[in-house]
Amino acid sequence: MDNLRIDGGRLWASLMEMGEIGATPKGGCARLALTDLDRQGRDLLVRWAKTIGCTATIDRVGNIFLRREGARPELPAIATGSHLDTQPTGGKFDGVYGVLAGLEVLRTLHDAKIQTDRAIEVVVWTNEEGSRFSPAMMGSGAYAGVFPVEEVEAKTDVDGNRFDAELAKIGYRGAAKVGGRNIGAYFEAHIEQGPILEAEDKTIGVVTGAQGQRWYEVTVVGQEAHAGPTPMRRRRDALVGASRMIDAVNKIGHAHQPYACATVGFIQSFPNSRNTIPGRVFFTVDFRHPDDERLSSMDAALKAQCAAIAEQGGLELEIRDFWYFPPTPFAPHLIERVRDGAAAFGYSAMNIISGAGHDAVYMAKVCPTTMIFVPCKDGISHNEIEDAKPEHLEAGCNVLLRAILEASKA
Amino acid sequence: MDNLRIDGGRLWASLMEMGEIGATPKGGCARLALTDLDRQGRDLLVRWAKTIGCTATIDRVGNIFLRREGARPELPAIATGSHLDTQPTGGKFDGVYGVLAGLEVLRTLHDAKIQTDRAIEVVVWTNEEGSRFSPAMMGSGAYAGVFPVEEVEAKTDVDGNRFDAELAKIGYRGAAKVGGRNIGAYFEAHIEQGPILEAEDKTIGVVTGAQGQRWYEVTVVGQEAHAGPTPMRRRRDALVGASRMIDAVNKIGHAHQPYACATVGFIQSFPNSRNTIPGRVFFTVDFRHPDDERLSSMDAALKAQCAAIAEQGGLELEIRDFWYFPPTPFAPHLIERVRDGAAAFGYSAMNIISGAGHDAVYMAKVCPTTMIFVPCKDGISHNEIEDAKPEHLEAGCNVLLRAILEASKA
């Protein structure tokens, strides 16, 4: 069983076939959640899984559990998966790889006629992207009890269509209750969506956890005035203050290396007129760090430094704590299985922290969880030009196979 | 004649009566150029001037010259004036004060039955604000030959209405040619539109010139990327670069004191999404200084410092020289008349540089020119809450009277 390998060619062919559903001219994919294209993708996957003898269970928010029964069905199952929905101009790999890598594991076990002790389930989580219905990671969040089911069902898209109605329309409003399945471990294979593995020339990212996140909304208020006749020393320029704060945010990120990320992604200045001193600026801050203590230290630095800048510039300052998501360390015994798997196959590997949100982050709340990353071209995702190499996808899937096989022993 | 004083109460009453035309609920004025309200304001003024025996000449772009004949009509006349149009949410004093102070001078001479050697003309310049038809200072610019008349006539407002048609509609498309009148000196009284006189507790601003201006459009290009998985050291964050440049702009302003003004009034960041590293930022720079050499040194500092910041951040940089207006020194002998006038009346006075654009700046191209500033409340203008004190307006008008009387001697 140690010589078992997945079929990289079959995995690639399945990715390409799935990518035809919602294919875009630039080689990407537009398969928004709960559209007819989403249905087509789900139908294809379920048909593939049933061909190899799996059963499909669908819960009320549309999460699909494709189960390959084990010798001891009463034991907690081993689950793997991700999502089939994409961004409006998304790629063929983000999410889809995790689902089809799981399918490829099942196909490999099927071909090799291996019966595992524990059942293995491949999961499709509904609406991970959050593009059509907000928030993101909706299906896994509902499963983990983060979002009440009724709240999810009442969500609407921009045209006012309700989530539950759209789900029913594509035939995936299932009967199973949301959450509480007997799952003993969850693995999720995913493209990195960042540039680290490629830059370090490693094939496998051993994901040790997901970064904690703190998001802020900052408002700086000064005094709007005529840019001509107002002397420098009398100004209370909100944009100058905000600019110094943005520089401070960046320096806080650099001061908390390795791992820290610090970004101002959004800014609006008022009245935004060439010859008027800005009276008010609004901007957002996105801090990420895998260690909560370091994240708190970044939080304290932000508040102290912005306050000092505001004070110096005669500006009013409001920093609103907009969102906090604590760091999620993954399960050490599963992380070791991934590391061992990479070593067994001779793949180069490195520890990595997930910076983006994934269904695995919610699953980590309810069962031992980890992820396997493979490189993606130039670190680019959420883009039609998202790309990954067949050999890397094959390697990640082999590691997933081995980790699942080990975990599935009674 | 040295004891002659204008009538401050009458000046105030005229300002208030003119302010009724286009009055806004908050006490301001909305009298946009070439609207029927503009016509009403012009009609009222012309009626007032004719009552005291003045003639009205209107040129092809609608500038009005109200002439009180002198004993020697062949000599160059002494002119004063400003504009009657306002911003959409403007005040009752910006521009209007300069026109009605001129009228008050004529009324005072009329009441005292004084015949000056030279004729005196009160001028209303068309569309100084540039709110409805762009650019600003259109009438005086056309008069000074900066804007060809045909170009001005073809300008359109946002609804596509042509300048010449709208001007004809209100009855102010005159027969006189634009420019070339026989004018020997031009004075313009104006509220300061800045906070300096109020802060220094001075009644009269002796305006020695107008600042030179350099405007720029700056584009910073980096690399758009996911805020989560992109390590700090691999980022090319256009907003961080732009923020450092905005801070540099501010420091360049402070480094060229006194007089320098440096403002970033407009900024746009792309894609402007909370969790995406900005890939491109566009912002404007407004530099002002009364000394062209210092303005050039600010220009050089801007380009060097922005280039260094871009280099350090791995960013592309484009700085476009968008507009250049050279410093305008006013006529020394007229400046002295204003200073002497303030001293004669015992008004506190100080030298001041005009930071904003005024019709006088274009007039300075074609004849000896200067301005008289009076304080405005909190330095605020282009706002319905713009305000000025009757005693300051009276003082400025007395100084104007005396300067004109002196200048009108053969």
Q: What is the rounded CA–CA span in Å between residue A96 and residue B158?
A: 50
DSSP B177: P
Q: Residue by residue, what is the 3-state secondary structure of A302-346?
A: HHHHHHHHHHHHCCEEEEEEEEEECCEECCHHHHHHHHHHHHHHC
Q: How confident is the model at residue A89 (pLDDT cuts 50, 70, 90)?
A: confident
CB spacing of A261 vs B233 below 8 angstroms: no
Please determine, for residue A173, whether its predicted confidence score (pLDDT) is greater than 90: yes
pLDDT at res. B300: 98
Q: Does B240 touch chain A (CB under 8 A)?
A: yes
Please determine, for residue A314, whether its predicted confidence score (pLDDT) is greater than 90: yes
- Do the Cβ atoms of B91 and B384 come closer than 8 Å? yes
| Same domain, residue pair B288 and B318 | yes
Residues of A in contact with B228 (CB under 8 A): 193-194, 211, 213, 261, 288, 354-357
Query: What are the pLDDT digits (tens) for A199-216?
Result: 999 999 999 999 999 999
What's the whole-number mean pLDDT along residues A370-385?
A: 89
Q: Which residues pair with B319 in a beta bridge?
A: B218
Query: What are the pLDDT digits (tens) for B346-394?
Result: 999 999 999 888 999 999 999 999 999 999 998 888 888 889 999 999 9
Note down the domain range covering B255: 212-325
Q: Does B379 touch chain A (CB under 8 A)?
A: yes
pLDDT at res. B127: 97
Quote the percentage of chain B above a pLDDT of 70: 100
Q: Does A229 touch chain B (CB under 8 A)?
A: yes
* Nearest chain A CA: its distance from B385 CA (Å): 13
Query: What are the pLDDT digits (tens) for A234-288?
Result: 999 999 999 999 999 999 999 999 999 999 999 999 988 888 899 999 999 999 9
State the virtual CA torsion across A301, A303, A304, A306 in degrees, nearest 10: 110
Residue B3 in any domain: the answer is no
Amino acid type, B67: R
CATH number at residue B284: 3.30.70.360
Residue A1 in any domain: the answer is no
Residue B276 in any domain: the answer is yes
CB spacing of B265 vs A242 below 8 angstroms: no
| ipTM computed for the complex | 0.81
Residue A2 in any domain: the answer is no
Q: Does B351 touch chain A (CB under 8 A)?
A: no
Beta-carbon pairs below 8 A across chains A and B = 191
What's the whole-number mean pLDDT along residues A285-304?
A: 96
Q: What is the rounded CA–CA span in Å between residue B247 and residue A243?
A: 6
Nearest chain B alpha carbon to A241:
B247
Residue A408 Cα distances to A49, A117, A185, A187, B90, angstroms: 19, 6, 9, 12, 76
Residue B1 in any domain: the answer is no
| Same domain, residue pair B201 and B221 | no
What's the whole-number mean pLDDT along residues B122-145?
A: 94
What's the whole-number mean pLDDT along residues A53-59?
A: 98
CB spacing of B246 vs A243 below 8 angstroms: yes
pLDDT at res. A1: 58
CB spacing of A192 vs B261 below 8 angstroms: no
Q: Does A381 touch chain B (CB under 8 A)?
A: yes
pLDDT at res. A241: 98
Q: How confident is the model at residue B1 (pLDDT cuts 50, 70, 90)?
A: low
Quote the percentage of chain B above a pLDDT of 90: 87
CB spacing of A247 vs B243 below 8 angstroms: yes
| Same domain, residue pair B76 and B170 | yes
What's the whole-number mean pLDDT along residues B173-200?
A: 96
For B138-266, list the strands marked E by DSSP: 183-191, 204-210, 212-221, 225-226, 261-263
Residue B132 in any domain: the answer is yes
Q: Quote the number of domains for chain A.
A: 2
Least confident range from A226-230, B59-63, B140-144: namely: A226-230
Q: Give the nearest partner residue to A250 out of B237, B267, B379, using CB atoms.
A: B237
| Same domain, residue pair B173 and B197 | yes
CB spacing of A229 vs B254 below 8 angstroms: no
DSSP B284: E
Q: Of A297, A325, A353, which residue is a domain's last?
A: A325
Q: How confident is the model at residue A134 (pLDDT cuts 50, 70, 90)?
A: confident
Q: Give the nearest partner residue to A243 out of B230, B243, B356, using CB atoms.
A: B243
* Nearest chain B CA: its distance from A44 CA (Å): 31
| Same domain, residue pair B21 and B127 | yes
Residue B2 in any domain: the answer is no
- Do the Cβ atoms of B356 and B290 come closer than 8 Å? no
Q: Of B294, B325, B356, which residue is a domain's last?
A: B325
Q: Which two tokens stand for residue A67?
A: 């189960």
Q: Please, what is the average pLDDT of chain B? A: 95
- Do the Cβ atoms of A42 and A125 come closer than 8 Å? no
Q: What is the rounded CA–CA span in Å between residue B98 and residue A74?
A: 93
What's the whole-number mean pLDDT along residues A131-151?
A: 94
Nearest Cα to Cα of residue B237 among B319, B316, B305, B313: B313
Residues of A in contact with B199 (CB under 8 A): 234
Q: Does B328 touch chain A (CB under 8 A)?
A: no
Amino acid type, B366: V
Q: Does A137 touch chain B (CB under 8 A)?
A: no
Interface mutation vs chain A, best among B131, B246, B272, B352, most A CBs within 10 Å: B246
CATH number at residue A163: 3.40.630.10
| Same domain, residue pair B224 and B316 | yes
Enclosing H/E stretch for A226: strand A225-226
Q: What is the rounded CA–CA span in Å between residue B30 and residue B28?
A: 7
Give the residue with greater pLDDT, A58 vs B234. Answer: A58
Q: Which two tokens stand for residue B358?
A: 């005024």
- Do the Cβ atoms of B313 and B236 come closer than 8 Å? yes
| Same domain, residue pair A285 and A353 | no
| Same domain, residue pair B293 and B192 | no
Nearest chain B alpha carbon to A382:
B226
Q: How confident is the model at residue B131 (pLDDT cuts 50, 70, 90)?
A: confident
Nearest Cα to Cα of residue B95 among B65, B126, B119: B126
Q: Of A291, A325, A359, which residue is a domain's last?
A: A325
Please determine, for residue A2, whether its predicted confidence score (pLDDT) is greater than 80: no
CB spacing of A228 vs B257 below 8 angstroms: no
Q: Which residues pair with A55 in a beta bridge?
A: A67
| Same domain, residue pair A12 and A103 | yes
Nearest Cα to Cα of residue B294 among B245, B335, B261: B261
Residue B216 in any domain: the answer is yes
| Same domain, residue pair A340 and A297 | no
- What would you measure as the largest C-alpha separation in chain A, in angstroms? 84
Q: Does A288 touch chain B (CB under 8 A)?
A: yes
Quote the percentage of chain A above a pLDDT of 90: 87
Amino acid type, B92: K
| Same domain, residue pair A321 and A222 | yes
DSSP B6: -
Q: Does B260 touch chain A (CB under 8 A)?
A: yes
CB spacing of B226 vs A273 below 8 angstroms: no
Query: What are the pLDDT digits (tens) for B267-291?
Result: 999 988 888 899 999 999 999 999 9
Which of residues 182 through 221 in chain B touch A, CB cutoff 8 A? 192-196, 199, 211, 213, 215
Enclosing H/E stretch for B46: helix B36-51
What's the whole-number mean pLDDT along residues B112-124?
A: 98
* Nearest chain B CA: its distance from A327 CA (Å): 13
Enclosing H/E stretch for B311: helix B292-313
Residue B47, Ramachandran bin (φ over 0: left; ψ between -120 and 50: alpha; else beta) = alpha
Q: Which two tokens stand for residue B372?
A: 């008289």
Q: Give the nearest partner residue to B230 out of A195, A242, A278, using CB atoms.
A: A195
Query: What are the pLDDT digits (tens) for B68-77?
Result: 999 999 999 9
- Do the Cβ atoms of B336 and B406 come closer than 8 Å? no
Please determine, for residue B139, whether its predicted confidence score (pLDDT) is greater than 70: yes
Query: What are the pLDDT digits (tens) for B208-237?
Result: 999 999 999 999 999 988 888 889 999 999
| Same domain, residue pair B40 and B131 | yes
Nearest chain B alpha carbon to A223:
B380
